Structure 1
Amino acid sequence: MLKAELRKIYIQKRKALSSDEALLLSEKIFNNFVDYFSPVEDQKIHIFTPIKKFNEINTFMFITYFLSQNIRVFVPKVIDNKLINIEIFEDTVFESNPWGILEPISNRDSEETHFHYIITPLLYCDFNGNRVGYGKGFYDAFFQDISPESKKVGINYFSPNEMIEDVWENDISLHYLVTPREVLSFLSGVE
């Protein structure tokens, strides 16, 4: 199936979830992530903040947990059409950007390029780790600038069931996908 078709389908599926369903599924995804990856103190994790109007996975439970475990947390912020990453702390102040995404008020790029995990937003992921996002390309560009050892972990309410037909040469696939039901690895036995 083509990315544009999958984008439409999964935006609709996400909209169909009630707030309670989205929260319950987010909790299951969070628990699966923590159980599988067992993040520890001083690791560096890059994670997005959710767009509430798009019913995205509630990543604030991840952020709260990571900060409580002394895990270093970085969130994206778009400045001049480029995604930078800002380290956050318990007292970081956030504001809503024009897309309705909560971002730190600070514009100070951490310039960090190595993360243990990059928790990546997506609308859909296929059986090969290819992802469909909103089509802006921010994460594909971001992935090119980071250490190849950084594990790219997609989180989604839905498991794969269709292959993405129009994967492009510059698309960068995920290493893992975490859903409410499972954790899939796309590393072909090499971890």
Structure 2
Amino acid sequence: MPSPSSSREILRRQLRQTRRHLSNEEQALAAKQLTTQFVSSPLSNTLTQNTRVALYLSNDGEISPNSLCEYLWQHDVDLYLPVLDGKALRFARYTSTSKWAENRFGIKEPVASETIDGLELDAVFLPLVGFDIEGGRLGMGGGFYDRTFEHKQANQPPILIGLAHDCQAVAKLPIESWDVPLDNILTPSTFIQLT
């Protein structure tokens, strides 16, 4: 019988391949529908002017938060992007004039003289490789978000919102002790409130 960690790795490979096979048109439609789903969710009333919200630049077939980003900018939400800090993340302000550099994984990050701790944010939209309806989350396997939010208290900011394509849903994920639970999951067709 495979161990939970090998089951997670097999599932991670399968789900990454599934999302990478989505066409450009499917990706663009999913991003637009994701924003529509957000606007109709209770989150849209929570994340308003002057809140600090982190999102990410999509990579490896992840659902794009670009449309969501534009919506939040129009509503005067302060946006941040993750910046590698050893084995965890810090967050740098994201504006239309941000300057860029690639991190050690070849992913663009904003160049910033100041960053903030993840616990200073009001909400974080984070990419998922897989999810289940109980809030189980499968990431890329590096543990960056888990280490960043390992001291987050339940029902305290930031709100952790996983973003994924609908095709990334699974019946039940094997959970590890270090997995930080999500508060919500948002897909193009679904909003799941977990806490």
Match of 1:26 in 2: 31
Which stretch has the larger CA shift, 70-79 or 95-104? Answer: 95-104
Deviation sequence 1:33-91 (CA, Å, 0-9, x none): 1221213111111111111xx12212222222222221011110103333111122232
Match of 2:170 in 1: 161
Match of 1:46 in 2: 54
Pairing of 1:16-165 with structure 2 (within 5 A): 16-36=21-41, 37-38=43-44, 39-51=47-59, 54-111=60-117, 113-146=119-152, 148-158=156-166, 160-165=169-174
CA RMSD of aligned residues (A): 1.9
Identity %: 21
Pair 1:178-2:183 in alignment? no
Gaps of 5+ in 2: none
Q: Is the 8 A contact 2:162 2:185 kept in 1?
A: yes
Gaps of 5+ in 1: none
Using the TM superposition, give the Cα deviation of residue 176 of structure 1 relative to its aligned residue in structure 2, in angstroms.
Answer: 0.8
The aligned amino acid for 1:63 is C
TM-score normalized with structure 2 length: 0.85
TM-score normalized with structure 1 length: 0.87
Cα distance change, pair 135–72 in 1 and its aligned pair in 2 (3 A): same
